[in-house]
Structure 1
Amino acid sequence: MTNEKTFLGTEPVGKLLFTLAVPAVVAQLVNMLYNIVDRIYIGHIPGSGSLALTGVGVCMPVIMIVTAFASLVSSGGAPSASISMGKGDYESAERILGGCFSVQIVISAVLTAVLLCFNRSFLSAFGASRNTIGFATDYMNIYAAGTVFVQLTLGMNAFITAQGKAKTGMMTVLIGALINTVLDPVFIFKFGMGVKGAALATVISQAVSCAWVIFFLCGKKSVLRLCLKNLSIKTSLVFPCLALGSATFIMQASESVLSVCFNSSLLKYGGDIAVGAMTILTSVMQFALLPLQGIGQGAQPVSSYNYGAGNAPRVRKTFSLLLASCVLFSFVLWIVLMARPQSFAFIFTSDAELVDFTAKALRLYGAALVLMGVQVACQMTFVSIGNTKCSIIVAVVRKFVLLIPLIFIVPLFTADRTSGVYLAEPVADLIAVTFTAILFAVQFKKALRPLEKKTDAS
């Protein structure tokens, strides 16, 4: 058991990063794939497939906000628990786990009530029309009832990964994906439930995944145990977790705001085809960048544990390997994207005009993709070492300070204003990555200095 508790501080860093990152990457890709499969089934509903797909598509910004609340708790709680484990304070780590569990129950109850009461208003605000609002509300009413399962599955699974048990965390996603993929056609087509069937399949799959997560955390194989005595919400432990997780929350929740800004500007300058291309661009970029997030998630337990243990050389080495991995991946992805953008567009549409338009837009939109490895590595490490202030700053600067204003400013200085909207993304990324790299260079050195002094003193 001792080795199971301390292996994050003793195993070779390169081996740990590979062992933990691969399952995390697989989990991210599977999660995205089964969401895509969900939409494919809905799109093939006889007679109303296109309207149903549009209706469910309008639900996505709302669903992104729901999952962002799960990240608010998990992305701060899991690193905090890992840091406590590194210090050998397993009692505090388990109190963080229990407190975060209770917070997610409270958040789930509030979200469920809000969504059931106001989902029609939210969906109308996000673009549901008279023709699609019925499909959208049918889906959201059932999805809202299962909010607690979504919250606990996503939130508590992070605490499994934080222990270095990435394969178990991956199984959580695989179980849900398999059940959802099997139940979708049964409920949608065999039982004739349409979008209601798709929502019910999602809720059931998340409920089973939730049961799997809780069963594991309460069992003997978990280093951190979820137990009744730790379910009280101790503000001194939980509030710092929420503060640390707010950076990830901002990043995820802001996607809904960005979607509205991009679409309004593109509709003004380029019409429906420009908005359609943007839908494809965001899907491609989200899917393409998932492995980067998975690599970062794999590195988090190693960085957090060793930071808590006061082992500065291992924290530094973990970051070096994380940075190299992220930069290499983003460079290869950028090369492929620039060389064959039309291949990515063909995945989502066979319309020749839209494919051609999207291919050109993708080269503009993804021009600075090669730099994203630096952004992700620095931002994930800020979170991993518990640097709340910097993690929030880099999230807010990139999305709100830079990208949202640039969506409206850059087109004013380009001959083709539609292209200018797409160019806002790489311009924002270039400035943001430069800012993040400089801030990280200063703050990372500052964060490790106390650890190095303790090492020298001993």
Structure 2
Amino acid sequence: MAKVSSEQLGTEAIGKLLIRQAVPAGIGILVMSLNVLVDSIFVGNWIGSVAIAAINVVLPVSFFIGALGMAIGVGGSSIISRALGANKSEKALKTFGNQITMTLLVTVSMVVLGLIYVDTLIPAFGGKGAIFEPAKIYYRIVLYGVPFLALCMMGNTVIRAEGKPKFAMIAMIIPSVGNLLMDYLFIYVFDWGMTGAAWATTIGYVLCFGYIFYFFLSTNSELKIGLHHFGLNRSILKEIGALGFVTLARQAVISIIYLLMNNILYGLGGEAMVAVYAIVGRVLMFALFPVFGITQGFLPIAGFNYGAKKYQRVRKSIHKAILYAALLATIVFIGLMIFPAEIASLFLSNRPDMTAAEMATNNFVLEHTPGAMRWVFAATPIIALQLIGAAYFQAIGKAVPALLLTLSRQGFFFIPLVLILPHFFGELGVWISFPISDVLATLVTGYFLRREIRGTLF
């Protein structure tokens, strides 16, 4: 693999650079999304649809703790990109050392708390009735691997900030492939059920950590830190916290949404309705991987060139990123509108030994999922502007607008809508909350991004 310097972020043609950054990021996200998708298909076919619902209950808790690492990673990586662009290598090294220390301290503490309050957290996130026991089994085991997940999320953003997207891609592929192989072995061959699914996920996290650890020790990384870089620095911590809080707040809102959705849908249709959302959520993670890939590829380009005061290149990167992401989002939209029933059927078992209750659950899920999927993805073609716009402010270190725009779609608009509309429209009210919030957030982001471009980048 050819060695790449971060300096290319400030010299290479924007279109070519964006593709070079975004394609590995997109492939990595695709493989991770496929991992979640296929993992759910395996669990649904080999364990049952209630098991999919159980995993859906655990995800917001484990992902929130893992997202602490991503928040520290994204916040620190914004500093690293700008520092490298401004030739401040010592600041970049100190920032990376502080990221590692923060990630370990915060995530280990959160895991301890998560294990202590397991019986409170699972029911709060919708793990009720038949869902509780399998969710508890999965939760305990996966939580042991979450610190490794957090370190992987943190390290991956730093690798991308160095301008090494191919290595970041490999780091994302390793846990996905490992998880799927372990799924087959532990669930299908050994018949360990939810225990097997949980250990497969945890082993995937550990494998990813091993690769990232190797990367930073090798000659591929420009960031060679010493012990003195691990000592916490107040000004760096403050900047990491301000920028990282954007990512953390977004994940916190996602966890709140899972909590609300699981409980609202459980009240509307029990375990089967929670399974419908679990399937739609998995498709949501998978289907938008090209857009998220463009967004991830855009971040280091915008941050580096902003730090180097190359504002024309920043402007061009914004326009190119929105164009590429919008085209890809439209292709995804067309596919989901045409094949929702076929996609939903992939998650459901057709075992000959199913009980009458399992068959009834499967029929309910298959009947309700296609309509839900069409509504949830109805505004997909326009969300590129919202995602790129919010990412831009985070990349250049403007924490407040980044936070507000990031939270606008899921926090300021979606949560109030999903609390209000089901009272008037029932199940439909839940699903139409998605496209309405997408449209409103895109309009707000477009306004602020246009004002920023005119005021700062000219």
Equivalent residue number for residue 407 of structure 1: 418
| 2:175–2:208 contact (8 Å) kept in structure 1 | yes
Moved more, 170-179 or 53-62: 53-62
Report the Cα distance in structure 2 between the residues aligned to 1:356 and 1:285, rounded to whole angstroms. 19
Change (3 A) 1:263 1:14: same
Equivalent residue number for residue 150 of structure 1: 149
SS in 1 for 2:288: helix
Moved more, 286-295 or 49-58: 49-58
Change (3 A) 1:366 1:40: closer
For the pair 1:117 / 2:116, whether they are aligned, the reply is yes
Equivalent residue number for residue 312 of structure 1: 311
Report the Cα distance in structure 1 between the residues aligned to 2:4 and 2:137, rounded to whole angstroms. 50
2:390 aligned to 375, 379, 385, which one? 379
**Percent identity at matched positions?**
29
How much has 1:341 moved relative to structure 2? 3.2
2:441 aligned to 415, 432, 443, which one? 432
Moved more, 131-140 or 56-65: 131-140
Change (3 A) 1:288 1:50: closer
Alignment of 1:331-350 (within 5 A): 331-349=330-348
Letter in 2 for 1:395: T
| 2:159–2:165 contact (8 Å) kept in structure 1 | yes
Report the Cα distance in structure 1 between the residues aligned to 2:344 and 2:309, rounded to whole angstroms. 47
How much has 1:72 moved relative to structure 2? 1.4
Report the Cα distance in structure 1 between the residues aligned to 2:267 and 2:201, rounded to whole angstroms. 36
How much has 1:231 moved relative to structure 2? 0.9
For the pair 1:389 / 2:397, whether they are aligned, the reply is no
Alignment of 1:21-40 (within 5 A): 21-40=22-41
For the pair 1:127 / 2:126, whether they are aligned, the reply is yes
Residue-by-residue CA offset, 1:356-392 (whole Å, 9 max, x unaligned): 4332333333222221011111111111111111110
Moved more, 124-133 or 434-443: 124-133
Report the Cα distance in structure 1 between the residues aligned to 2:42 and 2:276, rounded to whole angstroms. 22
Report the Cα distance in structure 2 between the residues aligned to 1:72 and 1:319, rounded to whole angstroms. 22
For the pair 1:160 / 2:159, whether they are aligned, the reply is yes
Equivalent residue number for residue 200 of structure 1: 199
Letter in 2 for 1:123: I
How much has 1:400 moved relative to structure 2? 2.4
Alignment of 1:35-74 (within 5 A): 35-45=36-46, 49-74=48-73
Change (3 A) 1:344 1:185: closer
Moved more, 340-349 or 15-24: 340-349
Alignment of 1:167-178 (within 5 A): 167-178=166-177
Moved more, 252-261 or 315-324: 252-261
Moved more, 285-294 or 350-359: 350-359
How much has 1:296 moved relative to structure 2? 0.7
| 1:218–1:226 contact (8 Å) kept in structure 2 | no
| 1:24–1:294 contact (8 Å) kept in structure 2 | yes
Change (3 A) 1:129 1:356: closer
| 1:326–1:376 contact (8 Å) kept in structure 2 | no
For the pair 1:85 / 2:94, whether they are aligned, the reply is no
Equivalent residue number for residue 452 of structure 2: 443
Unaligned runs of 5+ in 1: 450-458
Moved more, 237-246 or 152-161: 237-246
How much has 1:162 moved relative to structure 2? 1.0
Change (3 A) 1:35 1:225: same
Report the Cα distance in structure 2 between the residues aligned to 1:128 and 1:273, rounded to whole angstroms. 13
| 1:9–1:306 contact (8 Å) kept in structure 2 | yes
Change (3 A) 1:407 1:296: same
Report the Cα distance in structure 2 between the residues aligned to 1:316 and 1:52, rounded to whole angstroms. 46
Report the Cα distance in structure 1 between the residues aligned to 2:192 and 2:274, rounded to whole angstroms. 30
Report the Cα distance in structure 2 between the residues aligned to 1:171 and 1:431, rounded to whole angstroms. 36
For the pair 1:423 / 2:432, whether they are aligned, the reply is yes
Letter in 2 for 1:391: A
For the pair 1:300 / 2:285, whether they are aligned, the reply is no
How much has 1:230 moved relative to structure 2? 0.9
Report the Cα distance in structure 1 between the residues aligned to 2:185 and 2:285, rounded to whole angstroms. 28
Change (3 A) 1:144 1:420: closer
Report the Cα distance in structure 1 between the residues aligned to 2:187 and 2:341, rounded to whole angstroms. 32
Number of equivalent positions: 445
SS in 1 for 2:397: coil
TM-score normalised to the size of structure 2? 0.89
For the pair 1:7 / 2:8, whether they are aligned, the reply is yes
Report the Cα distance in structure 2 between the residues aligned to 1:138 and 1:293, rounded to whole angstroms. 31
| 1:85–1:93 contact (8 Å) kept in structure 2 | yes
Report the Cα distance in structure 2 between the residues aligned to 1:228 and 1:150, rounded to whole angstroms. 23
How much has 1:274 moved relative to structure 2? 4.9
Letter in 1 for 2:444: F
| 1:112–1:145 contact (8 Å) kept in structure 2 | yes
Residue-by-residue CA offset, 1:374-421 (whole Å, 9 max, x unaligned): 1111111111111111110112322222111111333556xx443233
How much has 1:130 moved relative to structure 2? 5.5
Residue-by-residue CA offset, 1:205-238 (whole Å, 9 max, x unaligned): 3222212112211322212224322111112112
Letter in 2 for 1:70: G
SS in 2 for 1:146: helix
TM-score normalised to the size of structure 1? 0.89
For the pair 1:357 / 2:368, whether they are aligned, the reply is yes
Change (3 A) 1:302 1:256: same
| 2:276–2:365 contact (8 Å) kept in structure 1 | yes
Report the Cα distance in structure 2 between the residues aligned to 1:52 and 1:266, rounded to whole angstroms. 16
SS in 1 for 2:150: helix
| 1:112–1:144 contact (8 Å) kept in structure 2 | yes
Moved more, 50-59 or 87-96: 50-59
Letter in 2 for 1:392: L
Report the Cα distance in structure 2 between the residues aligned to 1:282 and 1:306, rounded to whole angstroms. 35
How much has 1:115 moved relative to structure 2? 2.0
| 1:258–1:404 contact (8 Å) kept in structure 2 | yes
Report the Cα distance in structure 2 between the residues aligned to 1:267 and 1:183, rounded to whole angstroms. 31
Equivalent residue number for residue 359 of structure 2: none
Equivalent residue number for residue 228 of structure 1: 227
Report the Cα distance in structure 2 between the residues aligned to 1:146 and 1:270, rounded to whole angstroms. 33
Change (3 A) 1:161 1:2: closer
Residue-by-residue CA offset, 1:135-167 (whole Å, 9 max, x unaligned): 333322222222221111111111001111111
Report the Cα distance in structure 1 between the residues aligned to 2:4 and 2:132, rounded to whole angstroms. 55
Letter in 1 for 2:167: T
